[in-house]
Structure 1
């Protein structure tokens, strides 16, 4: 760089100043290239004298009168004046002149062949500043060509670390706007703009008599779209197509898959979509042609509208190509804009599942109803819950309002409207009491004979389907073994009686004034429940989750020390659902409850070495989004001596009215009690004052009365896991086309010992230069059948010359940036790089 050029100059000048006689050397630097560097020049036997255009006469006086012994380099940062205007002409005549050609010095210093000196001279203005020159030197170029020199100059302007036109272009696109781009202005300042556009043509096939960055970006996006669209482009776009699609696809793939640049890709995508009116152009297209295209966010919006339309028509069997609606949603969630539209696609998947049950039916036999619910029907409650969990999180969900109405109708009228009357018909013969273990037998069945310490987590209102979601989460954890079961809650299915039934007891009693007693004792608060528990298990304790989560580890250890049974009361779902202003948040509360209970199990395993847990609930709930109509409220059934709730009534006499089932409390409690509990046989409610109506419990339905029992064993020690691997199935040794499709397989299904992994796959040269697009594949399949874990990826190669004698590689990088696959191939592409002609 400049310092080294000065060293060369100093060496030459020091030779001039050898000997005994006095020497004067004039250096006219025509362009003033070394004006900033001259003071750093190290001369051994001479001094530097700066000549200015207006001090020539004084200089002559100084050199010939004031100091006639010192050797001087007289440096003039301007051209040598004509003789008529040069007062030093005679002095120059008897002195020596020095010529420093910066281009020559740079060429020698950089090791550039003499034949490339003109290109250095062409851009000599660039080397007028130290910082630019240093950046050029820091690139440490080994092999110089005209293109390499020009790309290096642009790289120095863009402050990149490597000589790469792709990297230059990436900086131009991502670090400034398309209009009034500062990098193009810099290129223009140093006469590099023509070279930039020429390289754009070489790299991306972009030609234009009046080129602009905006039009070039249009070409990139349209060419990319054309490659992944299965139909013809809109006619207005055809002229924007490039013949070098491989390079464009590789470039945009790398941009959109980069954590650093994906947001800028999306900005550019939005600008192009608006400028080219993409949404309008796509409106008339068959959605099938866009299934594999991810260029624009509008494609996802277009497909989402199509799916919603099919679902509104209750066409759950609709396909695009070979993809069903859930498969299409899953595929799109893994594509570029999947993170933006994840909630939309999740909502559509849940709606699809529910709409598939539009003609719901179940057995008339209670045992059949329960078996079907445990095996399958509970999923409908989950689909409904997850639908609203997505719906409520989507900021602008107006486009799904009609779909919401359909989902609500199917869930409320066809599913609950069919299931609940058949379920409640089971009370007439007392059959419901025999289809599942009873909640009032919980302690004797699960706790009494357990020898190891057990932690019982009672999550208020965690209904069966939510418990299944927790069980699934536990199953996926490498340190947990979980078994799922169910039991039938008491009726009424409300907190006071449900919590009492989970305690050890001989008798459960509802008094004449409707208080709940356990063996004659009240158990309405934590201390009372603990007293009941300690009568049977002295080394036991009851604690609120909210108190436990705020404790430090030492305090938790002290609390659990010496305990055999610990009841932890968790209240997330019921606390939100029972309040009028938060009842519509109950499905969020379900998700939070799952996470909180899971986290509690993990924490207690680590903090107090607890390894034996049982998770259950006091009752479940019914939630419907639409407000109840007056016709769904049962009025006029309460009496002076009755205890009436929205979903149940306790009274001395059975209610003999249509739509109401009455059950003897003696059947529920297991001892003589003359009172009756009466419940709506559907999802209707009794008309009572106050409270919400979307979230209810206390009545008789699978959702309210079937509660989960999850037995969990945990391991504190580390359980060895390994990431899932992917392998190349295609026996490819040679690549002969610029577009190549390869088959891969995920080695094993994801499990508790094999964890999912995200991989990036692309081809590189022997110098690790990327020569193809980059595919990202998330290996997360749990399918046990190998053929279902196979997947296919398409690679688009750069349109350039390839050397058949050199190795190229397919590589795979995992999400920890570790290379896990390097497969050698021969690149034998006969007509790459424009069929061998520079056209």
Structure 2
């Protein structure tokens, strides 16, 4: 049994490889296609059968221990097309890619990781590692193609961020999300992953700082500072967006950064409502106590004693905000997210009959108070899930046609330790000081600091001449407040806030995503046809998913199983998430050397959307 297990293990991995003279296991090589088909059936049955897989895997570990994956990799390398994969075989491959190729050839790594992930169980621990490496590779690719970070106008920086740079923030956050999950597991290559994560932290901190140094340098050269930008101002949100002709719900999500909202849009694309994402410019300082009340209707915003007075009043809580809102719209109300989600159907339907409802959602900002990297990053995912459900329920269950979502401010985040020497010490006179800003009456120039008149940068009036001072780039001040998760300053990540408009769809999506064959030279090997399809565009508000049926035909006779695939990826950033690996297995005997792959739209089985010739290299040596 030992030799049988060793032969099965060896050939399951290496059947697509030409034997090397340096291979210590080459005596186990099986070249007969009929025998390989039988070996593959045994291997698939053992690994995929729910009742057998645990015992089969344990038997293979015990009986085939003599076939060492690391020895196979020494001979054939990490890029060899191994047929079946084991976790033990994957670990040195992943480690080799991280050390040799991750930064230099990120898309090669991403493609290889995707191929490996398809060959291992979806629920295995190694899939978390795959996600981490994939997001790192995607980050390095985005950083590689971002182009120059020195632009000519502040407006150019805004557009650069909205069109490209936000995805760098997203990839870093997603990489941290995967890393925080994998470090709770037993991982054989944990040191290599740790070192890769440290490198990612350093690279991200560097590029974000440089981009924002250039942005702030450009802004300070302008006479009108931030006021020449095309972005609408946060303090004008209500005046711009409120429409008395229909009832509205406004969700204010504390610290919902633009890139997090962009990922939320991918979730909303799966639903039947229509949503659009745009951006506003938050006030300075990008601090909750200033920015959140400014989203309510107002006639005046006044800075007084380190607080914001709205129409002459402080609005610290829900009751004060509701009373204020009712001055502008009768029966309008402010509520907390938790109260809405804990309410029953009847009470919520009554609530949303009101003409205007503000819902305050604080998941991300609340998690940031601990400054735990685990909690902050997890809170971003939680916020996406909560807001997607909330918006869907507002439309589907509570009869709200128009929903708006915005934020008080964004944030900067670095998963690194800040030494005291890394904190910018300021001796300027301060009225108020936090890690990302301070308020002062002094107009004295300070090295590494940009100053703006408070009224110009925020829309808040004051009885005295107050300057808002912010560090250039992503520097943190030596002051009370958070260092890893921080806001209050003038980086693009802090100042650009999302505005999502969502409304019930009146016209159904009519256009489906397109699909294309990635590898047209198709061959049937060992009774299997393997090929890749790419979903040409992401599912969006305008383009809906497509379900296809794939099969191989001899004339009009279907000679393989028929496979149904739904093309429904909403990922517009990572192209690999729109690639589908398909395997079709012969289930009828055929002597024809030329077959045809046909792919149909499920709703039109008469007209294939793809036809492609398949060369049949399988010599059928068994009865089906």
Query: TM-score per shorter chain, which class?
Result: 0.7 to 0.9
Question: Within the alignment, does 1:253 sit opposite 2:44 as a pair?
Answer: yes
Q: 1 CA distance for matches of 2:119 and 2:105?
A: 23
- Deviation of 1:637 after TM superposition, in Å, equals 2.7
Report if the CA contact (8 A) 1:481-1:714 is conserved: yes
Residue pairs, 1:300-311, within 5 angstroms: 300-311=90-101
Q: 2 CA distance for matches of 1:524 and 1:791?
A: 51
Report if the CA contact (8 A) 1:724-1:754 is conserved: no
User: Relative to structure 1, is the Cα distance of residues 758 and 225 closer, same or farther in structure 2, using a 3 angstrom cutoff?
Assistant: farther
Q: Secondary structure at the match of 2:488?
A: coil
Report if the CA contact (8 A) 2:513-2:535 is conserved: no
Aligned residue number for residue 260 of structure 2: 466
Aligned residue number for residue 623 of structure 1: 413
Q: 2 CA distance for matches of 1:469 and 1:715?
A: 20
Q: Secondary structure at the match of 2:260?
A: helix
Q: 1 CA distance for matches of 2:134 and 2:518?
A: 31
Aligned residue number for residue 232 of structure 2: 437
Q: Secondary structure at the match of 2:338?
A: helix
Q: 2 CA distance for matches of 1:520 and 1:351?
A: 49
Q: 2 CA distance for matches of 1:371 and 1:814?
A: 38
Which is higher, the Rg of structure 1 or of structure 2?
A: 1
Report if the CA contact (8 A) 1:300-1:332 is conserved: yes
- Deviation of 1:669 after TM superposition, in Å, equals 3.7
Q: Secondary structure at the match of 2:276?
A: strand
Aligned residue number for residue 687 of structure 1: 478
Give the one of 107, 111, 125 matched to 1:327.
111
- Deviation of 1:657 after TM superposition, in Å, equals 1.1
- Deviation of 1:426 after TM superposition, in Å, equals 0.6
User: Relative to structure 1, is the Cα distance of residues 537 and 756 closer, same or farther in structure 2, using a 3 angstrom cutoff?
Assistant: same
Report if the CA contact (8 A) 2:20-2:75 is conserved: no
TM-score, normalised on structure 1? Answer: 0.62
Report if the CA contact (8 A) 2:527-2:618 is conserved: no
- Deviation of 1:601 after TM superposition, in Å, equals 0.7
Q: Secondary structure at the match of 1:331?
A: helix
Report if the CA contact (8 A) 2:533-2:582 is conserved: no
- Deviation of 1:239 after TM superposition, in Å, equals 3.0
Give the one of 331, 341, 347 matched to 1:549.
341
Q: 2 CA distance for matches of 1:794 and 1:469?
A: 31
Q: Secondary structure at the match of 2:395?
A: helix
Aligned residue number for residue 323 of structure 2: 531
Report if the CA contact (8 A) 1:234-1:281 is conserved: no
Question: Within the alignment, does 1:355 sit opposite 2:140 as a pair?
Answer: yes
Aligned residue number for residue 649 of structure 1: 438
Residue pairs, 1:273-292, within 5 angstroms: 274-290=65-81, 292=82
CA deviation map 1:376-422 (0-9, x unaligned)? 01111111111111111113443212212221121112332342353
Q: Secondary structure at the match of 2:279?
A: strand
Give the number of equivalent residue pairs. 592
- Deviation of 1:620 after TM superposition, in Å, equals 0.6
Q: 2 CA distance for matches of 1:237 and 1:483?
A: 58
Residue pairs, 1:572-587, within 5 angstroms: 572-580=363-371, 582-587=372-377
Q: 2 CA distance for matches of 1:230 and 1:302?
A: 21
TM-score, normalised on structure 2? Answer: 0.82
Residue pairs, 1:120-519, within 5 angstroms: 212=1, 214-229=2-17, 232=20, 235-242=23-30, 243=32, 244-258=35-49, 261-263=52-54, 266-268=57-59, 270-271=61-62, 274-290=65-81, 292-311=82-101, 314-316=103-105, 324-337=108-121, 339-340=123-124, 341-356=126-141, 357=143, 361-394=149-182, 395=185, 396=187, 397-423=190-216, 425-428=218-221, 429-435=223-229, 436-447=231-242, 449-474=243-268, 476-511=269-304, 513-519=305-311
User: Relative to structure 1, is the Cα distance of residues 671 and 549 closer, same or farther in structure 2, using a 3 angstrom cutoff?
Assistant: closer
Give the one of 337, 359, 362 matched to 1:571.
362
Q: Secondary structure at the match of 2:84?
A: coil
Structure 2 residue ranges without an equivalent (≥5): none
User: Relative to structure 1, is the Cα distance of residues 750 and 367 closer, same or farther in structure 2, using a 3 angstrom cutoff?
Assistant: closer
Report if the CA contact (8 A) 2:282-2:495 is conserved: yes
Q: Secondary structure at the match of 2:133?
A: helix
- Deviation of 1:350 after TM superposition, in Å, equals 2.4
Question: Within the alignment, does 1:559 sit opposite 2:351 as a pair?
Answer: yes
User: Relative to structure 1, is the Cα distance of residues 814 and 286 closer, same or farther in structure 2, using a 3 angstrom cutoff?
Assistant: farther
CA deviation map 1:98-155 (0-9, x unaligned)? xxxxxxxxxxxxxxxxxxxxxxxxxxxxxxxxxxxxxxxxxxxxxxxxxxxxxxxxxx
Report if the CA contact (8 A) 2:17-2:80 is conserved: yes
- Deviation of 1:329 after TM superposition, in Å, equals 2.1
User: Relative to structure 1, is the Cα distance of residues 230 and 665 closer, same or farther in structure 2, using a 3 angstrom cutoff?
Assistant: farther
- Deviation of 1:299 after TM superposition, in Å, equals 2.9
- Deviation of 1:727 after TM superposition, in Å, equals 9.9
CA deviation map 1:576-605 (0-9, x unaligned)? 11224x354211111110110010011122
- Deviation of 1:348 after TM superposition, in Å, equals 2.0
Report if the CA contact (8 A) 2:258-2:493 is conserved: yes
Report if the CA contact (8 A) 2:254-2:365 is conserved: yes
Q: 2 CA distance for matches of 1:544 and 1:462?
A: 16
Report if the CA contact (8 A) 1:489-1:706 is conserved: yes
Report if the CA contact (8 A) 1:738-1:797 is conserved: no
- Deviation of 1:655 after TM superposition, in Å, equals 4.7
Q: 1 CA distance for matches of 2:518 and 2:130?
A: 30
User: Relative to structure 1, is the Cα distance of residues 776 and 302 closer, same or farther in structure 2, using a 3 angstrom cutoff?
Assistant: farther
Q: 1 CA distance for matches of 2:552 and 2:62?
A: 28
Aligned residue number for residue 489 of structure 2: 699
Moved more, 278-287 or 570-579: 278-287
Q: 1 CA distance for matches of 2:109 and 2:120?
A: 18
User: Relative to structure 1, is the Cα distance of residues 378 and 583 closer, same or farther in structure 2, using a 3 angstrom cutoff?
Assistant: same
Report if the CA contact (8 A) 2:428-2:442 is conserved: no
